[in-house]
């Protein structure tokens, strides 16, 4: 059964159309503080009450009219048909609002962590700097592929950004344009870095054993213990610092949610990781990621774990390959890489590794499978 509701996210008021467990939401142009809002409508003491009510009613009526027209055609009023009909009849005044005002509305409408919002603000500021640099007054009617190409060139050659950073800024721009101008096709606003078939860097079983068996003290010991825990459970560094691990003791398995709460991790608890937990009162050593990555490089240098490894990055559209000692590149991610690589090398089924590490699909494990191609070939032939 279709439904049309008015809801507030942050201070921004939206009309939400839902049907068959799907929905879309439309910003009404109204912003209302919590003290002036009652469930689904502003209270009469709300400043500019009449104008705000008019904005909400206009969008709500337009969605209702779109629903009625779709039903009169004998068509199931799915969210795709109703949204298309709504956009066809009008895009109420949104494209006429100044670009930077729409940016502020977009930020107010977001319901995300502060760190994510800061990253989005940074992307917004980068785009503003491009407009200042190019003397371009943004207009959705004139923003085309050529101008978008100039924006990418600006990021590459004037800001000297790496491809991964450019991709993040472009992703923000596409999301914002989709929000601000829903009736306009901006699917071409995309940036695809040059693919790098890079081998996953991990440490060997012998190197891990050397690390475990070495007598250490002070911050070297704490750093080593955390690295060993990560490398023998496949835990992400961020998750190891949450201090919310749940031990399923009878099965020797750790259970905890990933920090983005999408899936669950169920890493095993081997003897090395068990000793780490017992040593630190049931939780992994707590240390900042910046300090950890600095100390682990220092530790590997001290232990002369310096075999050469090949690294690749993309900079200014060019693949840059370097050969560096292991101690110069070692970090928390390599600990997780080590766990996955050792599991695959020992013949563990891919689906079991995915359950332990919280991966959602095979694609994310492709780099590890390339590194352990002999294991993959054995599984296919078997």
How high is the pLDDT of residue 65? 85
In contact, 305 and 213? CB cutoff 8 Å: no
pLDDT in tens, 289-334: 999 999 999 999 999 999 998 877 655 556 667 788 999 999 999 9
In contact, 19 and 79? CB cutoff 8 Å: yes
* Residue range 144-165: mean pLDDT, rounded: 81
| 192 CB-side CA count, 13 A | 3
How high is the pLDDT of residue 20? 83
For the chain, helix, strand, coil in percent to 5 are 55, 15, 30
How high is the pLDDT of residue 222? 94
Q: Record the tokens describing residue 156, joined without a space.
A: 């590459």
How high is the pLDDT of residue 251? 54
Q: In this model, does residue 24 exceed pLDDT 70?
A: yes
* Residue range 137-158: mean pLDDT, rounded: 82
pLDDT in tens, 26-55: 888 888 888 888 888 889 898 888 888 888
pLDDT in tens, 51-103: 888 888 888 888 888 888 888 877 888 888 888 777 766 544 444 566 777 78
* Residue range 366-375: mean pLDDT, rounded: 61
* H-only helix segments in the chain: 49-72, 79-89, 99-109, 114-134, 145-153, 163-180, 205-213, 218-233, 237-240, 271-279, 289-302, 326-329, 332-345, 350-357, 366-371, 373-381
Instruction: Name 275's bridge partners.
Output: none
Whole-prediction pTM value? 0.49
Assign 195 to helix, strand or coil.
Answer: coil
How far is 135 from 151, CA to CA, in rounded Å?
12
How high is the pLDDT of residue 300? 95
Cβ count near 244 (within 10 Å): 9
How high is the pLDDT of residue 62? 84
Tell me, rounded to whole angstroms, the distance of Cα 208 from its chain centroid: 30
pLDDT in tens, 103-129: 877 777 676 777 788 888 899 899 989
Backbone φ and ψ for 331, nearest 5 degrees, come out as -160, -175
Q: In this model, does residue 380 exceed pLDDT 60?
A: no
| Residue 320 zone, left/alpha/beta (φ > 0; ψ -120 to 50; rest) | beta
Of the candidates 64, 88, 57, which has an alpha carbon nearest to the alpha carbon of residue 3?
64
pLDDT in tens, 342-366: 888 887 777 788 878 877 766 677 6
């Amino acid at each position: 059964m279709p439904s049309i509701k008015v809801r507030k996210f942050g201070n921004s008021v939206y009309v939400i159309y839902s049907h068959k467990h799907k929905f879309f939401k439309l910003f009404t142009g109204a912003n209302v503080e919590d003290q002036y809002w009652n469930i689904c409508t502003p209270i009469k003491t709300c400043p500019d009450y009449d104008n705000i009510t008019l904005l909400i009613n206009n969008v709500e009526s337009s969605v209702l009219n779109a629903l009625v027209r779709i039903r009169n055609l004998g068509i199931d009023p799915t969210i795709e048909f109703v949204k298309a009909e709504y956009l066809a009849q009008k895009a109420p005044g949104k494209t006429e609002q100044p670009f930077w005002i729409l940016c502020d509305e977009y930020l107010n409408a977001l319901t995300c962590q502060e760190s994510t919002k800061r990253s989005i603000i940074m992307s917004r500021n980068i785009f503003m700097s491009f407009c200042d640099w190019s003397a371009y007054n943004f207009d959705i009617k004139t923003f085309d592929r050529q101008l978008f190409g100039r924006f990418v060139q600006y990021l590459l050659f004037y800001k000297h950004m790496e491809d991964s950073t450019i991709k993040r800024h472009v992703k923000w721009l596409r999301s914002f344009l989709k929000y601000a101008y829903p009736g306009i096709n901006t699917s071409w606003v995309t940036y695809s870095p040059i693919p790098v078939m890079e081998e996953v860097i991990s440490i060997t079983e012998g190197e891990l054993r050397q690390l475990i068996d070495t007598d250490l003290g002070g911050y070297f010991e704490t750093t080593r213990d955390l690295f060993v825990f990560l490398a023998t459970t496949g835990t992400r560094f961020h998750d190891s610092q949450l201090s919310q691990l749940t031990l399923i003791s009878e099965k020797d398995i750790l259970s905890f949610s990933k920090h983005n709460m999408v899936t669950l991790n169920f890493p095993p608890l081997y003897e090395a990781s068990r000793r780490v937990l017992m040593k630190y009162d049931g939780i992994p050593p707590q240390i900042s990621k910046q300090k950890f990555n600095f100390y682990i490089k220092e530790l590997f240098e001290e232990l002369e774990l310096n075999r050469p490894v090949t690294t690749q990055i993309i900079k200014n559209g060019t693949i840059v390959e370097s050969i560096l000692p292991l101690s110069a590149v070692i970090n928390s991610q390599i600990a997780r890489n080590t766990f996955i690589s050792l599991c695959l090398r020992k013949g563990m089924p891919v689906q079991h590794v995915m359950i332990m590490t919280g991966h959602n699909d095979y694609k994310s494990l492709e780099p590890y499978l390339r590194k352990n191609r002999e294991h993959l070939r054995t599984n296919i032939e078997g």
